[in-house]
Structure 1
Amino acid sequence: MQAATGALKGLRILDLTHALAGPFCSQILADHGADVLKIEPLEGDFFRRMGPFRDDDQMRHFGGLFQSCNRNKRSMALNLKHPEGKALLMDLVKDADALVENYRAGVLDKMGLGYDALKAIKPSLVYTSVRGFGDKAGGESPYMQWPSFDIVAQAMGGWMGITGEDAQHPVKVGGGAGDTVAGLFAAFGTMTALWHARSTGVGQYVDVAMTDSILALSEMVVSQYSYRGVSPVPVGNGIPGLAPFGTVRVKDGVIALAAPHNPQFRELSLIIGMPELINDPRFADEGLRWENNAALIATIESFTTTRTKLELRELFGGKVPFSPIYNAQEIFEDPHFAVRNMLPEVEHPGSERPVSVPGVPVKLSQTPGQVRHRAPMLGEHTREVLKSLGRSEAQIAGLIEAGAVSAQ
């Protein structure tokens, strides 16, 4: 395992998370150098069994989704229901700076491993939970015990109500944004609490709800209703009030194009050889362009549908906000993502070829984050961690035989 680098080198995080939201939080911390120990049940995080899998991978220690959000971490397989397993976690807490978990509300409390129990061991501990509807610390939701997934958070938090072509066909944002947005906020909350603990020696509970996280990024929903009493509805790929802003048809597909403000619209009009649009009374200002959006798009498409995406790239690139709508292959082929190291490769146990994972988007000039190594196999570092706690080989063998831990 490559030595940690990055701004968070020396920070110790206990990761009692599964699925995506919690692991994404701790992955961000690990990418920037924190020592993240993923503590899994003996059967492992169920996300290990999620694909995609390589055809030549007969071992199937984990699939692509697990690899993506658990790189840079170590793994310890620990039975928290076993008295010795529980005692081991408490030993680990003594040297930890933070703990992240995303169990159902109250689960760890019932096991004697909730925040109140652990802060008695380590008063400076930062304890972060990520749940669908939060925990008591931030306000006890009537839905606190409800299970949640990405689509549930997007539905209640405001995104699905404004995404899609019309109100009868709501659409969620692609990927697991209901999880990853919450994971981002959880990582930020963990670091702000650690900053406070660093100067005061006092830890705290960081309570993050997936649904709250989506609402926090639903500025249009909140502002439209708060200011005007209007519940916005889906408008496709556009934003109410801005035109042209969205997708337009081209000869070989569709592109994204945005030139709603006067300088951008002027430039677009000149590029497509229609300078008369600048003084057209239907399109004279931003408000009029939105009112006459359908006519404006039809006019623009009379030009774009006669050109390919490659031709329009040459015309629009660097002049007006524009992009082809990339598929995965096009992303992997584009030089931007290569030069920005956004598709780093790691090994995958059981496969002869390396795999790519999403890179580290925050580029620090002095202490850059890095994808240093692959996701861990289940219990890959159990022995290593137990030895660091002073357990002998005989004691480790006894813990394994008792079912308190498992190891590779």
Structure 2
Amino acid sequence: MSGNPSPKATGPLAGIKVLDLSRVLAGPWCTQILGDLGAEVIKIEQPGQGDDTRRWGPPFLEDGSKDAAYYLCANRNKKSAAINLADPRGAELIRKIAADADIVVENFRVGGLVKYGLDYAALSAINPRLIYCSVTGFGQDGPYKDRGGYDFLIQGMSGLMSITGRPDDEPGGGPMKVGIPISDLVTGLYSAISILAALAHRDRTGEGQHIDMALLDTQVSLLANQASNYLNGGMIPRRLGNEHPNTVPYQDFSCADGDILVALGNDRQFRSFCELIGRPDLPDDPRFKDNAGRSPNRHALQEEMRPAIAKWKSDDLIAAMEAAKLPGGRVNDIPHILADPQIEARGVVREMVRSDGTVVKVLGYPGKFSKTPADYRYAPPRSGEDTRGVLTDLLGVSEADLAALIEAGVVAEKLH
């Protein structure tokens, strides 16, 4: 194909073909995972425009594309074809790709692809084995189905922001969003999990199916212990800053030269930590002997622990905790953690080279497979750089017909 070369996929999904009609983050995050695992992903972009996130900067990549760094985080291991699905000729090309695809991922509004003949009913009639995943803010049914859903809205509506941030009575108190688009990212993860389950079902039965993924559903499902505290214990979760709603102490403390994190998960660890900081008496206090007592008496315990911890230098206390096999650490900023020797040893940061020679750094797939590791075949593509290859090699479009489609604006080659 033109554009990116075509190295052989080695991941566990090698041989699986994905038609990616999604943009921004939740859908592309899902398809990037599938691509990392070896699937062939064909990303369809609007001619002359491309994925919205290509312009979500600064910062921008300093090359001819001027693609935003945001776009680069979610679009490796894909080929980009610029096809106008609103044109009947473009929609027909996409249907031909879908006829031979295993998976379609889209994040249009509910019913938005029906008029183009690219909805599940239309494509499954052509390809009954197709697994078709729709990602929306609120799902395919329910009173909110026609609303647009964005990560920030979902974080607030889901209850996540009601438990994130400092308490209202503290300086800086109030609801706070998470520092990454967590609702989009986790919906992408759940979508990939669901698609893999559907592939297993298809392997057994030959049947494809429609998967309905909603950002709100996903984010509410992640309330996990906080929701269970309310559903099964009547406890209304609230903002606790860096404290844990159940386990104590599990928070940040100030040392003589900076803050550290203390994450003690059981009574044994608590006793060992108290001995370490010179307060072996604390576990003998009836209020603090077990977590059931420490949790409601957390403020009294904190007042006892803080002076003892404040005498330590942070590096010394972290080293002492590590020697005692107690979980603790510091709050890293992004540059520090990306340069951390553990991250380097695990190969989390990787370099990829775009078709024009530009180097792009990405965060790799975190799972380590003993037999079929994730692979890194294509750097995030420039918009439309694989249009010619997809249409001529995959669909058999002639050079004359391709030229006519380009002239009519139905398809486009490189946007940049």
Question: When the two structures are superposed, what TM-score results if normalisation uses the length of structure 2?
Answer: 0.92
- Structure 2 vs 1, CA of residues 229 and 298 (structure 1 numbering), >3 Å: closer, same or farther? closer
Aligned AA (2:37): H
Q: Is the 8 A contact 1:54 1:351 kept in 2?
A: no
Q: Is the 8 A contact 1:260 1:286 kept in 2?
A: no
- The alpha carbon displacement at 1:280 in A equals 2.6
Aligned AA (2:153): V
Aligned AA (1:339): A
Residue in 1 that maps onto 2:198: 193
Aligned AA (1:298): E
Residue in 2 that maps onto 1:35: 40
What stretches of structure 1 of length at least 5 have no aligned partner? none
Q: Distance in 2 between matches of 1:16 and 1:236?
A: 39
Residue in 1 that maps onto 2:343: 337
Please say if 1:213 is aligned against 2:222: no
- The alpha carbon displacement at 1:331 in A equals 0.5
Residue in 2 that maps onto 1:119: 124
Residue in 2 that maps onto 1:44: 50
- The alpha carbon displacement at 1:60 in A equals 3.4
Paired residue secondary structure (2:319)? helix
Q: Distance in 2 between matches of 1:73 and 1:61?
A: 18
Paired residue secondary structure (1:303)? helix
Please say if 1:24 is aligned against 2:52: no
Q: Distance in 1 between matches of 2:336 and 2:362?
A: 16
Q: Distance in 2 between matches of 1:205 and 1:159?
A: 28
Q: Distance in 2 between matches of 1:379 and 1:13?
A: 17
Aligned AA (1:258): A
Q: Is the 8 A contact 1:61 1:349 kept in 2?
A: no
- The alpha carbon displacement at 1:296 in A equals 2.0
How many residue pairs match? The answer is: 402
Q: Distance in 2 between matches of 1:52 and 1:251?
A: 38
Residue in 1 that maps onto 2:144: 143
Q: Is the 8 A contact 2:160 2:223 kept in 1?
A: yes
Paired residue secondary structure (2:175)? coil
- The alpha carbon displacement at 1:404 in A equals 1.1
Q: Distance in 2 between matches of 1:233 and 1:299?
A: 24
Cα distance per residue 1:361-390 (max 9 Å; x no partner): 111111111333310001111111111211
Residue in 2 that maps onto 1:222: 227
Please say if 1:204 is aligned against 2:209: yes
Q: Is the 8 A contact 1:26 1:36 kept in 2?
A: yes
Question: When the two structures are superposed, what TM-score results if normalisation uses the length of structure 1?
Answer: 0.94
Residue in 2 that maps onto 1:295: 300
Aligned AA (1:406): A
Q: Distance in 2 between matches of 1:49 and 1:350?
A: 19
Q: Is the 8 A contact 1:9 1:33 kept in 2?
A: yes
Residue in 1 that maps onto 2:404: 398
- The alpha carbon displacement at 1:73 in A equals 0.7
- Structure 2 vs 1, CA of residues 260 and 58 (structure 1 numbering), >3 Å: closer, same or farther? closer
Q: Distance in 2 between matches of 1:370 and 1:248?
A: 41
Q: Distance in 2 between matches of 1:369 and 1:58?
A: 27
Residue in 1 that maps onto 2:373: 368
What stretches of structure 2 of length at least 5 have no aligned partner? none
Q: Which moved more, 1:103-112 or 1:12-21?
A: 103-112
Identity %: 40
Cα distance per residue 1:48-72 (max 9 Å; x no partner): 11124357x1523411111110011
Q: Distance in 1 between matches of 2:293 and 2:128?
A: 60
Aligned AA (1:141): G
Q: Distance in 2 between matches of 1:202 and 1:313?
A: 54
Please say if 1:90 is aligned against 2:79: no
Q: Is the 8 A contact 1:19 1:47 kept in 2?
A: yes
- Structure 2 vs 1, CA of residues 231 and 282 (structure 1 numbering), >3 Å: closer, same or farther? closer
- The alpha carbon displacement at 1:350 in A equals 7.8
Q: Is the 8 A contact 1:131 1:208 kept in 2?
A: yes
Q: Distance in 2 between matches of 1:54 and 1:407?
A: 21
Q: Is the 8 A contact 2:77 2:376 kept in 1?
A: yes
Corresponding residue to 1:284 among 286, 289, 296: 289
Q: Distance in 1 between matches of 2:261 and 2:283?
A: 21
- Structure 2 vs 1, CA of residues 335 and 145 (structure 1 numbering), >3 Å: closer, same or farther? same
- The alpha carbon displacement at 1:226 in A equals 1.9
Q: Which moved more, 1:16-25 or 1:308-317?
A: 308-317
Cα distance per residue 1:151-172 (max 9 Å; x no partner): 2112222211211122561112
Q: Distance in 1 between matches of 2:19 and 2:354?
A: 24
- The alpha carbon displacement at 1:77 in A equals 0.2
Q: Which moved more, 1:359-368 or 1:285-294?
A: 285-294
- Structure 2 vs 1, CA of residues 60 and 250 (structure 1 numbering), >3 Å: closer, same or farther? farther
Q: Is the 8 A contact 2:65 2:382 kept in 1?
A: no
Aligned 1:159-170 pairs, distance under 5 A? 159-166=160-167, 169-170=174-175
Paired residue secondary structure (2:248)? coil
Aligned AA (1:393): E
Q: Distance in 1 between matches of 2:271 and 2:63?
A: 58
Q: Which moved more, 1:315-324 or 1:204-213?
A: 315-324
Paired residue secondary structure (1:107)? coil
Aligned AA (1:116): A
- The alpha carbon displacement at 1:148 in A equals 1.4
Q: Is the 8 A contact 2:354 2:381 kept in 1?
A: no
Cα distance per residue 1:106-160 (max 9 Å; x no partner): 110122210000001100100001111011xxxx121111111112112222211
Paired residue secondary structure (1:99)? strand
Aligned AA (2:214): A
- The alpha carbon displacement at 1:351 in A equals 8.5
- Structure 2 vs 1, CA of residues 348 and 306 (structure 1 numbering), >3 Å: closer, same or farther? farther
- The alpha carbon displacement at 1:41 in A equals 0.9
Corresponding residue to 1:328 among 313, 324, 334: 334
Q: Which moved more, 1:29-38 or 1:323-332?
A: 323-332
Q: Distance in 2 between matches of 1:334 and 1:109?
A: 48
